[in-house]
Amino acid sequence: MKTLLLKPAVVVSLLAALAGCGSSPVYEDEDFKKETPFQRAVDSAPVKACDAAQMALLSQGYRIEASDGLSVHAQKHFQPDDEVNTTIDFYVTCKEQDGGAMVFANAVETTYELKKTSNATGFSVAGAGSITMPWSKSADSLVKVAGQTIADGKFYQRFFDLLSTYLGGKAR
């Protein structure tokens, strides 16, 4: 009787392939629809549209992280409870289209939770074993626990409605 021996590289490859079988890739759910909540046409130049986007975001407590005239990155922080922090990163890009601009908006909500770690001081004594002393250190750190693009059409509608007030008109 012959014994079948597998090389370690083959075993690792098989285990990796089996681990990937448990879930389907998220890109399979991408529809690439023409109508989305992430865009609006406006009757203003792209630079003016992005300037209005900055003003709309600033008026709602967002901090402008970066802006180059045709794009804006803004951020706002929330603390829903003592051990949870949430950040919304809001991105706007303004492109020229048909004598006006197409404004694209995308917001990502990221949630962080406070994780506490503590270390007690310990040492070993020959013949007596290990002794742990009551002096301890603790450290708190925020750990990312979730992150997702906000896809709620009402959220973006509120943004585009406010944007249009800063443009002195309506979004198309």
Looking at the DSSP bridge assignments, the partners of residue 115 are: 141
Is the pTM of the predicted complex or chain greater than 0.85?
no
CA distance 104 to 80: 28
CA distance 103 to 159: 11
Please count the structural domains in the chain. 1
In the block, tokens 């939770």 appear at 113
In a domain, 107, yes or no: yes
pLDDT at 128: 62
In a domain, 126, yes or no: no
In a domain, 13, yes or no: no
Q: What single letter denotes the amino acid at residue 124?
A: S
pLDDT at 46: 98
Domain range enclosing 46:
36-111+146-167
In a domain, 59, yes or no: yes
pLDDT at 10: 56
Q: What single letter denotes the amino acid at residue 63?
A: R
- Distances, alpha carbon 125 to alpha carbons 38, 72, 115, 129, in Å: 65, 61, 32, 5
pLDDT at 142: 86
Q: What CATH number is associated with residue 75?
A: 3.30.530.50
Assess contact for 162 and 123: CB atoms under 8 A.
no
CA distance 154 to 60: 16
**What is the number of alpha carbons within 13 Å of residue 70 lying toward its C-beta?**
6
In a domain, 117, yes or no: no
Which distant-in-sequence residues (6+ apart) come within 8 Å of 1 by Cβ? none
- Residue-by-residue pLDDT tens, the chain, 172 positions: 555 555 665 555 555 555 555 678 888 888 888 889 999 999 999 999 999 999 999 999 999 999 999 999 999 999 999 899 999 999 999 999 999 999 999 999 999 999 887 766 666 666 666 666 556 666 788 899 999 999 999 999 999 999 999 998 655 5
CA distance 8 to 96: 56
